[in-house]
Amino acid sequence: MRSPKRRLADGAGTRSRLGYTGQQIAMRPDILNPLFAEVTALKGIGPGLAKPLERLGLARVVDVAFHLPTGFLDRVERDELFQADVGRIVAIQLTPVSYRMGGSARTPARVQAVDGKGNHVSLVFFGGSSGWAKKLLPVDEPQWVSGKLEQYGDFLQIVHPDVLPLDRAGEAKGREAIYACSEGITSRRLGALAAQAIERAPELPEWIEPSLKARHGWPDWRMALAAIHADPADAKARERLAYDEVFANQLALLLVRGEARAKRGLPLTGDGRLREALQLPYTPTGAQARTIREIEGDMAQPQPMLRLLQGDVGSGKTLVALMALLIAAEAGAQGALLAPTEILARQHFETLSRTLAGLDIRVAILTGRDKGRAREATLMGLADGSIDILIGTHAIFQQGVGYKNLGLVVVDEQHRFGVAERLMLQAKAQLPPHLLVMTATPIPRTLQLATHGEMDVSRLDEMPPGREPIETSVISEERLGAIVEALGRHLEAGKQAYWVCPLVEESEKTDLAAAEMRAAELKARFGDKVGLVHGRMKGPEKDEVMRRFSAGEHGVLVATTVIEVGVDVPNATLIVIEHADRFGLAQLHQLRGRVGRGGGKSHCVLLRGERLSETSRARLALMRDTNDGFVIAERDLELRGAGELLGTRQSGEQQFRLAQPEMLSALMEAANADARLLVDQDRKLKSARGEAARTALYLFERDAAVGLLRSG
């Protein structure tokens, strides 16, 4: 989700967050203006409410409307008090009869009241609120009261009840929506603001195919929005709103794909001379060979390749990327490989330089650290075409970096980059370059359609020979001493290990502090065999630690999650991950993939805390039982529910707000099929339903697709 400040700056006419650069600014239709007004357009929002709303990301009216309830209080309306209702939230009319006020702020105030049958109950208020309780509940004046009925000794009581006058009694009955809050604003206040937002919501033309809507029994859009805020248990309303968002996303991706296919790029056909000269110590797997053929076929076409390469940890994505880069070089074009971290960029550079030694090809690296003459030499080599392959971080698409003939862009660890960042690099080419994006996080089909629906997909579903499954153990942190002893035996055997220290407590320690503490403790035991690396280290210092570890001078590398991707030391056959229960499955799987890269058996030790939730217990059990990243990804989707998809956030890309992950599986296929049908019948969205679909694109901020229609 974009920050509130960014959203406010966008105004009514926004440049798209999805699509290609250089498109026209798409202006929202006037009918949506009331929803995209600043949140201060709602009554009662002053400076006191602005900050908590900002913390919740609610900067516009539409944000409030789409801030759906997370649950509800289900009140039982009663005419009289029943013992059987203890533990339930009741709504009942009571008459106060007397007060028993405490003598201090620590003593609760009690209002004695009776129901219509004369049954007694105490209404309890803590915090020195006796004067307020008397004003709220005058003696002999009936009031509607709502709260949890409790047993206190032989008496019934309700602690801090909601009290409403008779003319507002309906608000104390039935079902009340519960909203995610921030300090300074209550759930009930958010509900009142949501009601205002819904009042401003217009009736919109229907974009769902009529037979599909009828088959599911979905209400109209505005009716669904009002219904879900009134009754969060309304499954049809929630499903309708989720479908709308998924449909708009699928339609936008299809339009982006169509626009990409319509562009003319640079066909690249290699003559094979570099690939034939490449001396590989192994034979590519069948999956690698198949994928290389798919990429080679794509690159030979005049339409730019747009392909996602999925591969589990250790499946050989780097070799596939190298072959694609060699095809570009054979065809006289330049290739660029974009890595998410400097560690990974430098490792790619060293690996490719070593692999390509002796071939007539020049490889260079460019990161933010490179300055002065070295940087100038690289920039000149890119501009005159003498550099064939450039590897680097974000620095390779910054201002001042120009290419003579950029023909292929490879993006490693796709989940670390947003669409906008990829397109900045693509814009460096005279013609749209071929694009290959790679991820080591296996993606379930549902999420693949949701986030990469505009791409063709290749999947490396076969491991290179000799890769043994990593043996994973889940061990209590109480046995830390035994783990350190086992680490000592591991080092004595001439092997190396990683020790990963994540965030301990957000309010108390940083991951850096935890890593430094663990490194100091291990150094006291193992001396100079222990190295430490973290994201805040300066480049040369980090390089030196990594060099020493790769050379075997350090036996243990204590690290933060900076080593999640890219570190490749075959002799490292043990990884210990502290507080493993705090990680998502995808990140645990990535970290585990740092070992098992050489011959022989490798081990992963997951140190867990004592108090585990059921979800954490299931997550760690799955890690122990399987090494299959695709199985893990599917299960992660089930376990995380409304959490971040696969534990990774698409930087720069909009997240789903209404469609929770558990709903995507049920809705994605239908939305994809419906969007395809619409595009096939009405590519320019000129029909009545097409115009309605345009409104949906604006509503869910996939409006770049409308810009593509205008320019197409």
> How high is the pLDDT of residue 173?
61
Q: At what angle do helices 704-711 and 235-262 cross, to 10 degrees?
A: 40
Q: What is the mean pLDDT of residues 472-498?
A: 93
Buried residues in 408-417 as b, exposed as e (16+ CB within 10 A): bbbbbbbbbb
> From CA 562, how far away is CA 591, in angstroms rounded?
10
pLDDT in tens, 331-348: 999 999 988 888 788 888
Q: What is the DSSP letter of 558?
A: E
> How high is the pLDDT of residue 412?
84
Tokens 């591991």 correspond to what residue?
490
Q: What is the mean pLDDT of residues 232-247?
A: 94
* 11 CB-near residues (< 8 Å, 6+ apart): none
> From CA 114, how far away is CA 93, in angstroms rounded?
9
> From CA 508, how far away is CA 522, in angstroms rounded?
22
Contact 654, 18 (CB under 8 A): yes
How far is C-alpha 355 from the geometric centre of its chain's CA atoms?
Answer: 35
* 470 CB-near residues (< 8 Å, 6+ apart): 592, 595, 596, 602, 603, 604, 627
Instruction: Give 273-460's CATH code, choosing from 3.40.710.10, 3.90.1150.10, 2.60.40.10, 3.40.50.300.
Output: 3.40.50.300
> Tokens at residue 311, please?
């591969």
Q: Is the pLDDT of residue 23 over 50?
A: no
> How high is the pLDDT of residue 647?
32
> How high is the pLDDT of residue 340?
80
For the chain, the C-alpha Rg in angstroms (whole number) is 30
Q: Is the pLDDT of residue 169 over 70?
A: no
* 664 CB-near residues (< 8 Å, 6+ apart): 246, 446, 447, 450, 656
Q: What is the mean pLDDT of residues 153-173?
A: 76
Residue 8 CB-half CA count within 13 A: 13
Which run of H or E residues covers position 212? helix 210-216
- Per-residue pLDDT band for 535 (boundaries 50, 70, 90) equals confident
Pairwise pLDDT comparison (256 vs 457), residue with the higher score: 457
> How high is the pLDDT of residue 130?
62
Give the CA distances from residue 498 to residues 90, 234, 339, 556, 602, in Å, rounded to whole numbers and listed in that order.
56, 49, 22, 6, 12
Give the CA distances from residue 196 to residues 50, 72, 168, 190, 689, in Å, rounded to whole numbers and listed in that order.
16, 19, 18, 10, 28
> How high is the pLDDT of residue 174?
65
Q: Is the pLDDT of residue 90 over 80?
A: yes
Which run of H or E residues covers position 549? helix 539-550
Q: Is the pLDDT of residue 21 over 60?
A: no
- Per-residue pLDDT band for 49 (boundaries 50, 70, 90) equals confident
- Mean pLDDT is highest, among 239-243, 259-263, 581-585, for 239-243
Percent of the chain, pLDDT > 70? 83
Q: Is the pLDDT of residue 692 over 70?
A: yes
> From CA 267, how far away is CA 305, in angstroms rounded?
10
Q: Among 293-297, 394-398, 483-487, 622-626, name the one with the lowest average pLDDT.
A: 394-398
- Where does 595-641 show beta strands of DSSP type E? 603-608
Give the CA distances from residue 711 to residues 181, 432, 684, in Å, rounded to whole numbers and listed in that order.
42, 16, 10
- Per-residue pLDDT band for 65 (boundaries 50, 70, 90) equals very high
* 510 CB-near residues (< 8 Å, 6+ apart): 503
> How high is the pLDDT of residue 17?
34
Q: What is the mean pLDDT of residues 571-592?
A: 87
- Per-residue pLDDT band for 170 (boundaries 50, 70, 90) equals low
Asked: is 471-626 a CATH 3.90.950.20 domain? The reply is: no
Q: Residue 617: what are its φ and ψ, rounded to 5°?
A: -65, -45
> From CA 552, how far away is CA 539, in angstroms rounded?
20
Asked: is 76-173 a CATH 3.40.50.10790 domain? The reply is: no
DSSP assignment string, 421-481: HHHHHHTTSSSPPEEEEEESS---HHHHHHHHTTSEEEEE--PPTT-PPPEEEEEEGGGHH
- Per-residue pLDDT band for 63 (boundaries 50, 70, 90) equals very high
Instruction: Provide the residue count of the chain.
Output: 712
> How high is the pLDDT of residue 143?
87
pLDDT in tens, 93-150: 899 999 887 666 677 888 999 998 999 999 988 765 667 778 888 898 888 888 889 9
Contact 706, 43 (CB under 8 A): no
The full set of domain ranges for the chain reads 76-173, 273-460, 471-626
- Per-residue pLDDT band for 35 (boundaries 50, 70, 90) equals very high
Q: Is the pLDDT of residue 710 over 60?
A: no
> Tokens at residue 504, please?
């301990």
> From CA 638, how far away is CA 552, in angstroms rounded?
41
Same fold, 76-173 and 273-460: no
pLDDT in tens, 588-632: 888 888 888 776 789 999 998 877 878 888 889 999 998 888 788
Contact 504, 511 (CB under 8 A): yes
- How many CB atoms neighbour CB 135 within 10 A? 9
- Per-residue pLDDT band for 556 (boundaries 50, 70, 90) equals very high
Is the whole-model pTM more than 0.95? no
Q: Is the pLDDT of residue 292 over 90?
A: yes
> How high is the pLDDT of residue 504?
40
- How many CB atoms neighbour CB 483 within 10 A? 18
> Tokens at residue 472, please?
């994973």
Residue 464 CB-half CA count within 13 A: 20
> How high is the pLDDT of residue 489?
95
> How high is the pLDDT of residue 214?
95
> How high is the pLDDT of residue 10?
33
Give the CA distances from residue 297 to residues 275, 316, 332, 408, 426, in Å, rounded to whole numbers and listed in that order.
16, 20, 17, 14, 20
Mean pLDDT of the chain: 82
Which run of H or E residues covers position 637? helix 629-640
Give the CA distances from residue 424 to residues 21, 328, 404, in Å, rounded to whole numbers and listed in that order.
8, 20, 16
Q: What is the mean pLDDT of residues 150-169?
A: 81
> How high is the pLDDT of residue 421?
58
> Tokens at residue 201, please?
């919501």
End-to-end CA distance of the chain: 29
> From CA 670, how far away is CA 292, in angstroms rounded?
32
